[in-house]
Structure 1
Amino acid sequence: MADEIVEVALGEAFETTKKALMAVGWGEPEAAIQAEVMVAAETCGNNQGLVKMYQPQLMAPAPGSAAPVVERVTDTSSVLNGMQSPGMLALKAAVDIAITKSKGGVATVGVYNTSTSSGQLAWYGAQAAKAGRVVIITANSPEFVAAKPGAKASFGTNPLCFACPVEGREPFVFDMSTAAVALFGVLKCKATGTPLPEQSAYNAAGEWTTDVSDIHIGGGGGAIANFGGHKGVGLALMVELLCAALSGGAVLGQVESKKTAKSWGHHVIAIDPDAMVDGFAARAASIIQTVAASHPEGVRLPGDSSMAIAKINIEKGTIPVPKKVWDVLIETCAKAP
């Protein structure tokens, strides 16, 4: 049976999440950034939200972690050593650097040595687009996803995000996992007692399953599937090459496993459209409006659903949260020193 859902005020969700993060060891500034990213995801119905706190000990600072350090600097590129900080902190720093460096051109920033997920890439993409940039962001993670039925897991859920400014509306943001279901989608199914989506995972025998306990994240020997057959595998491989081989993250075949190496990678490419064309935001608006109007009933575009859900939640001032997740947050706050 699916778990109960509770409605939580937006401000309360942020403050409680921040307090829970501080209870597991984070300072107020670092906790606030992570809480903002997670609550924003929950607000638009993305599964990278508060479910991250379902096992709060996994969100605690890694042993020896420190603030990210910039390495290998050029005028148009940087590499950021995450110093075992969370992906959410390191990626925000990387996107901020990319926005600044790309003024008048193009910049790329790689990130390695982060210890946890960066969360919803759309949040960072929107920040860059609101700053006037066209941006491509990718992220890899440990071995959760198998390239075909019966194969060993090789990829993370390896999301990618494209975002750009659009005249007259919020930025266009396309954020997708190259897996058939995101890791925190799996954890949300586990937290709420609901089955996995059809044809999103394999059991240990390489057969389709909807039972979380059949895959290694749930205690079994199976794996998440890539979406879209060989096309999903190709995109996942592209993300792996950008985030591991190019950005310095743990490389398949060179480490025992990415999970034990604990060096997740990210890659950010930022473009200042003013360096290439006049009136980019208006040109982008024309394309998006034309595609949206290409069917009498309209065309659903990437980001439309998230924006609609966020608008509803912001207007009512609350977000729906699985009760099990919210109870864990409250319990974690109660343990604060």
Structure 2
Amino acid sequence: MSTPSAIIWSNNQLQLLDQRVLPTRCEYRQYDDPFAVADAIRAMVVRGAPAIGITAAYGILLAAQKLTTSPTSADAWQNALRPARDALANSRPTAVNLFWALERCDQVIAEHGNGDALIPALTKLAVHIHAEDIEINQRIGDFGASLIPADSIVYTHCNAGALATGGYGTALGVIRSAHRDGKIRGVFAGETRPWLQGARLTSWELMQDDIPVTLAIEGAAAHLMREHKPSWVIVGADRVAANGDAANKIGTYNLAIIAKHHGVKVMVAAPTSTFDALLDGPQIPIEQRPADEITHSFGQRVAPENVLTNNPAFDVTPAQLIDAIVTEYGIIHQPDRAKVIAHLNSNKRK
């Protein structure tokens, strides 16, 4: 795989590939401050639920490294790190991996916060979460690829690839594995407004790996499904609810409705760290993004002054429209509450 790493930890500094300037420029930004990391998540320098979780773990590590004196108890560490933790937690509220990673950091602080072992333990955790995510993605990819028929065209939305994860990808991991197995004839990538992740990131990422991709405007989805009959719509998720509903980039719900009409199956590819067993779909918080993302295009105003805007970053696709949720542990066919909870309970992550 030739896609550059979105996240690099080196010499006690975090480097993030600035995804706002791809594909025309490939630039890394360096961070040694957790509040700057929170700003980078909010500003979408780094994006994608798994990548946000990994970045948050490194952010807590940076916060611990910046303290001039080491607290001597777990409670003191937690108090000292709370401002940075709060900033990271508030950066992108829909992505549940963010909170999952912060909770794992909390556990390490509780276990190692009474001596000099905390920073090495946080380093080990962050590096482990990063490496673990790549392995998880590959397993998701192989399980998902088993569902793809030979000679398939598939449709994907937003970017759920190596750039959105520790590497390899969730939805694009499925596509990568299926392409490796000789099953993929072509991929349609929806442009994904307003940030154009499909145009700028997914099409570029697939081209790096010589996977045949065709970029399409979002309004063409119904036409393309009728004319080209893809076997699957394959997407990632920022949160999968206990009842099987899935929050993903805005426009996913539209695609699922269109797919249902045309007999195209819908697959959500997501690690179990993206699941939220405490909420149902309607309870998932939906991030509202700034108005200028839709009133302007690359700095140029395209809408009238003072027009009212509604710019949700995500929507929630009901479980009834999802044919399969693929995790690192296998496949949940026709997901519902009982199947999701059973899947999570039988595959509890250590």
Q: TM-score, normalised on structure 2?
A: 0.28
Q: TM-score, normalised on structure 1?
A: 0.29
Higher normalized contact order (CA 8 Å, seq sep 6+, divided by chain length): 1
